[in-house]
Amino acid sequence: MGEMKAFVKVRPEPGGAEYLDWDVPNIGAGDVLIRVKAAGLCGTDMHLYEWPDNIVREYKPKLPVVMGHEFAGIVAEVGPEVKTVKAGDRVMVNPLLYCEECYFCKDGRQNICDNRPLLGLGADGAFAEFISVRSSNVHRLDDAVPFEVGALSELTCVGLHAIERARLTGGDTVAVVGAGPLGFIMAVLSLHSGAVRVFVTGLKTDRERLQLAGKIGAIPIIVEAEDPREQILEYTGGLGADVVFETAGAPSGVTQSLNLVRKGGRVGILGQGHEATEIPTAMLSFREIELVGTRAYTPREWQRVSAMLLNAQHDLSQTITRRLPLGKAEEGIKLMKGREGLKVMLLPEDEVR
């Protein structure tokens, strides 16, 4: 096939990524060729770009690799065996290429599959004009949902999975620790899943992000300015939050989460910090707190995400604070590193200045 533009991690070193001419991917009999219409930059992309030791160890990227895994687009072509979508369909994609064979896949827990390369890391990703994906990972995107909200489907599935893992129930009070894109999405989804009150905690440097959280109906708390525990106890008659989502991935975030949750409450750990955290396990016992690890999503969340995208699209779209053409992916990564705004969305060259 022909050539296209792509943002590719080429060399195993910090930076080492380039905007290049690249072959349009071939499609196998069961694959779908998708023209990418919107692709979100995510922490994982930033890590792949910066190339710290733990990334190389944990993610095992295969270079050279086209980066990017959060996206939506239009089907350009399908292999002869594909029956579920056709050329011209609007689609979103589960970027986790779980093996379908291992114990966990067969148990419906594809998120913790033994062999689960991620698009943009273990296989060519979405920071390109085209991407080829196996059809079982491709899902229809509702006509009423814009492509850039479709590109938030992956993060939304992460959130839906966490909400199920932490058993959020109608009427719950929720605290979200961390005001980054994942924290923001957790606030949106909690409010759309029946939480009556959602607090979001962040640092002084997150002021702009916390303001956005306030705009969608959450209660922002700057931890240097006010004690989140006092505030939440006051709102809950001294009880604490029913559910806490830790999204910061920092030891202090875990400690804060345990301080905010009520007796008998649940703490969902989403943040993937690389530093160990000391936890007073006696407190877990005395207060009967459940600490729940939660990772990625299963096909079940992809079945359910359409309705959430449709209902919550206005709030979800607030996550997108910057739009750049694909050719400026590197600039986007630098913006992310500076914790400016929330999500950077990469769009086709001719659709944004």
Interface ranges with Zn ion (CB under 5 A) = 42, 44, 98-99, 102, 105, 113
Q: Are 98 and 148 in contact (CB under 8 A)?
A: no
- When the beta carbons of 72 and 113 are compared against Zn ion, the nearer one is 113
Distance CA 332, CA 67 (A): 13
Residues whose CB is less than 8 angstroms from the CB of residue 106 and which lie 6 or more positions away in sequence, other chains included: none
H/E stretch holding 165 reads helix 153-165
Distance CA 20, CA 25 (A): 14
H/E stretch holding 233 reads helix 228-235
Least distance between Zn ion and beta carbon 120 (Å): 8
Least distance between Zn ion and beta carbon 241 (Å): 26
Q: Is 44 a catalytic residue?
A: yes
- When the beta carbons of 49 and 98 are compared against Zn ion, the nearer one is 98
Q: Are 151 and 345 in contact (CB under 8 A)?
A: yes
Q: Is 274 a catalytic residue?
A: no
- When the beta carbons of 154 and 172 are compared against Zn ion, the nearer one is 154
- When the beta carbons of 51 and 199 are compared against Zn ion, the nearer one is 51
Report which DSSP code applies to 18. Answer: E
**Residue 255 in 3-state DSSP?**
helix
Least distance between Zn ion and beta carbon 104 (Å): 5
Least distance between Zn ion and beta carbon 327 (Å): 21
Report which DSSP code applies to 346. Answer: E
Active site residue ranges: 44, 47
